[in-house]
Each structure stands twice: as structure tokens, then as C-alpha cells.
Amino acid sequence: MITVVVVDDHPIVRAGLRTILAAAADIEVVAEGASGADALHLVAQHCPDVLVLDVNLPDLSGIEVTRRLAAQHLSTAILILTVHDDRATVFGLLDAGATGYVLKDDALETLAAAVRAAARGECWLSPAVAGQVVRRAVGGSPPQTAAGVPATPPSHKNWWSPNGRCRTTSATSTASWGSPLVRRLSCWLSVMDWARPLRKAAHETRHENPRA
């Protein structure tokens, strides 16, 4: 049985998520919370397999909660569930240590599968988010910070999950915005049927830019 803690500040949303997950025989919601403080407390109390976490909380941000939990190197996977698909939020959360990222519009169809993937240590991304990640990986240049300075390349980031399933390696240089990262992305994208066209695009880009 996969144990889950759900944290969202809207009671109606929590009720909906509970209903979705209750339909899965292998998933059990063991606790619910409405704030970042709740998330930290409930994870410490229940040690769930997966934390389903909203981004906009009344006290701590989802990024701060994710960062604090990731720093503890817990076995709990952090699955973000949000309406936000902008680059700053997506990469801020993934870089902070989130295992997966699900848009609320996709929750009804994919939440249970995303929880199962996160419990296995696999990275699950909604299609719109996965597209951004692949474009960042094959685009040839790192994202910019708010000041316009190139952000730290992925070789210096602990990408995705605290358990290291989707991390880059220290041997990957700044040029890893190209093929090395693409190969790793292809590994975990393979768990999702909708990822086939993304893998194809990544494969074609790698062959068009063999030195990337």
C-alpha cells in the first residue's frame, strides 16, 4: 500500500484529491494538511511514501517546503500538484528536490499514476511541464536568473528527487544542456506513453548537434 499525505489550502480541492486517490486500491491517504507547517509536521509524523503538495500555501511556499524536506534526505517523494506551469515555478520546485510535477488540470486522469511513479522514485511530469524540461535540456543554453545571469548548470544541481534517481553527474559539463542530459531524460520519460514524441524530438536534436 502506498501511503500519501495531501497538503492543499483549499478544503474542496483536498476532498477532490482524496476522492481521486480513494479509487485506487493500492493508495491510502493517511493525512491531510492546509499549510506548509502542516506538510512538515505530517511528513515527520507519518513518513508517507508520497507527499502531494500544493505550491501556494498560506505560510511557507511549496518551494520552501520542498527544499526543507529534501535537505533531510527523507524517503518521502514530493509530488507537486499545482495550476502553475511557468518556468520559474517549475524549475524552482524541481531544482529544490521535487520528484514530480502534476498540473491540476491533469489530476483526474493522472494523479494516481503519478503517485505510483513517485513512490517508485521515478520522475512524473505533466506533458506541458515535460515539454519545458526537454526544451531546456536540448536548447543549448541554460536558463537565466532574474538578474540575467546564467543559472548554475545542471552538473551542480541535485535535480528532481532527494533519492538521486534523476540527478545529473559531476562529470556532466556546462554542455550537458545537450546530449548527456537528454539521454537521462529519455530514461524516465520512457515510463509515460505520451512522452514518445518528446523522446523522438530529443533523439533527433542530439543527432543534429552531436557535439552538444
CA dist 101 → 78, 170, 201 (Å): 9, 25, 21
- pLDDT tens digits for 10-56? 999 999 999 999 999 999 999 999 999 999 999 999 999 999 999 99
Question: What percent of the chain shows pLDDT beyond 90?
Answer: 58
Q: Residue 132: what pLDDT? A: 84
Average pLDDT over residues 52-68: 97
**Domains of the chain: total:** 1
Instruction: Note down the domain range covering 112.
Output: 2-208
pLDDT at residue 133 greater than cutoff 90: no
Task: Tell me which of 124 and 157 has the higher pLDDT.
Answer: 124
Lowest mean pLDDT among 23-27, 110-114, 139-143, 173-177: 173-177
Let me know if 41 is exposed, middle or buried by CB neighbors in 10 A (0-12, 13-18, 19+): middle
pLDDT at residue 212 greater than cutoff 80: no
**Which residues 6+ apart lie within 8 Å of 36 measured at CB?**
7, 57, 58, 59, 60, 61, 62, 64, 65
Q: Residue 143: what pLDDT? A: 46
Average pLDDT over residues 183-211: 50
What sign does the dihedral 173-176-178-183 (CA atoms) show? positive
Contact indicator for 44, 108 with CB cutoff of 8 Å: no
Task: In whole angstroms, give the CA distance from residue 173 to residue 106.
Answer: 34
Q: What is the 3-state secondary structure (H, E, C) of 95-116?
A: HHCCCEEEEHHHHHHHHHHHHH
Task: Tell me which of 131 and 197 has the higher pLDDT.
Answer: 131
- pLDDT tens digits for 135-165? 777 664 444 444 433 344 333 333 433 333 3
Q: What's the CATH code of the domain at 45?
A: 3.40.50.2300
Q: Residue 185: what pLDDT? A: 52
pTM confidence score: 0.69
Q: Residue 168: what pLDDT? A: 31
